[in-house]
Structure 1
Amino acid sequence: MVDRKITPTSKLGDQGNILSNAARLFRESGFERTSLKEIADACNMLPGSLYYRYSTKEALLVELMRRGVDLVTAEVESAYASSDDPVERLRLCINAHLRTLLVDSDAVYVLLFEWRALGPEAREEIIELRDQYESLWAEILETMIEQGVIRKNVDGRLLRLIGLGALNWVATWFDPNGAHSLDAIGDLIWQIAMDGVINKGVQA
């Protein structure tokens, strides 16, 4: 794992303003239903100024998705590095993924749910980036299996696919004003993992 330094959107000037507003509009209205003019209006800039930076809506979406991958990867890597306890690491990584998806970054939400809107060439690039992020989780889980923290008879690939699917699906129903906090949801998912796949005999 590498230590990634991601420049906050708020420090990117006009580019950050464009990315933040585009991500918010894509998340609220969907990629197909959002126009470049609407993004320009949200940024208080002329459409021509936006077209100068991003000639197509797809180019803007790809830039957002690249940033989304970098952000969620950096957050999960940071969570992993913050503890030496392999079981606690899993809890922290689960909560980092959920927090970035639902609180910290509209770009991550767009990455997960709008990639099908891309053309073939751009889609191939983003799928490759998404696969790089999933490989981070593959490394985390396979290490836990090798250490005996996760039971040896658990299929790491299947655990990753089901686990990330469950985490990402939270974005479709989570209500920030609802009865369950994001931390409570993350901790419940972690507890399910504890009860289902963690080898209790090797917990730190």
Structure 2
Amino acid sequence: MGRKKNQAMSVAETDREFVLGAAARLFRQKGFDKTTVKEIAEACGMLPGSLHYRYPSKESILVDLMRLALEQASGSLSEAIKGECDPLEQVRLGINAHLELLVGGSDKVYVLLFEWRSLHGASRQEMIDLRDRYELLWSAMLKSLSSQGLIRADVDRDLLRLIGLGALNWVATWFNEDGRYTVKDIGDFVWAVIKDGVIKR
């Protein structure tokens, strides 16, 4: 009984990712406003009514898509720092993991970054709450630096987190795989700036 339930959950999760992956591609190509539920259903090989049964509105698709993207971001960060006890190395690894996720070509991450304006009311608040949970992982790392005396006392940790993540997220708008800088170049530069400007010597 338990095995069948787990198999059913696995199939449901795979189906969810398939639908949301198709929606993310369309949202990225056409924008949320210009994409219709019918187009999403066609991309999934479904009837609009079947898609509506799962998601009552286009906004509910966007919400679940962003929810999945944030789940993946949190998982990626947690995996990157797993087993690492040095708080300085945790931050460095976290920066690189965040950058890799941003420039990895994920449609879901792209939509997460650039379609916030399409959410309203309770949906927008839910995404803010989920975003804040992701940022708590960063807050914990910065707090660890502070508690071990590795970060300057005059540094506002909240401001550092907000500006730091904002700068990292902006990389997604200008990064070019064939451009002058590699992901490693960017990660190394960001880490050097943090070490020189924030870490206590």
Does TM, normalized by the shorter one, top 0.5? yes
CA distance in 2, matches of 1:93, 1:10: 31
CA contact (8 A) 2:66 2:127 kept: yes
Q: Does 1:175 align with 2:137?
A: no
Tell me if the contact between 1:40 and 1:47 (Cα under 8 Å) persists in the aligned partners.
Answer: yes
Structure 1 runs of 4+ aligned residues shifted over 6 Å read: none
2:80–2:94 Cα contact (<8 Å) kept? yes
- Output the TM-score relative to the length of structure 2: 0.86
Give the equivalent residue in structure 2 for 1:3.
none
Q: 1:169 is paired with a residue of what secondary structure?
A: helix
Cα offset for 1:149? 1.7
- Could you say which residue in structure 2 is the equivalent of 1:154? 155
Query: What is the aligned partner in structure 2 of residue 195 from structure 1?
Result: 196
45-54 or 101-110: bigger deviation: 101-110
Give the superposition deviation at 1:59.
Answer: 0.6
Q: Which amino acid aligns with 1:32?
A: D
**Alignment length (residue pairs):** 192
Moved more, 17-26 or 176-185: 176-185
Q: Radius of gyration: which is bigger?
A: 2
Q: Displacement, 1:170?
A: 0.8
Q: Which amino acid aligns with 1:48?
A: G
Report sequence identity in percent: 52
Match of 1:91 in 2: 92
- 1:80 is matched with 81
- Asked if 1 retains the 8 angstrom alpha-carbon contact of 2:87 and 2:141, the reply is no
Q: Over residues 85-105 of structure 1, what are the superposed CA-to-partner deviations in whole Å (9 max), with x where a residue is unaligned?
A: 222211110111122222164
Q: Kindly tell me: are residues 104 and 11 of structure 1, through their superposed partners in 2, closer, same or farther at Cα, counting changes over 3 Å?
A: farther
Asked if 2 retains the 8 angstrom alpha-carbon contact of 1:10 and 1:17, the reply is no
Cα drift, residue 80 of structure 1: 2.1
Give distance in 2, aligned partners of 1:88 and 1:175.
26
- Partners in 1 of 2:11 and 2:101 — Cα distance? 16
Contact 1:40/1:50, CA 8 A, preserved across alignment: yes
**Residue aligning to 1:20:** 21
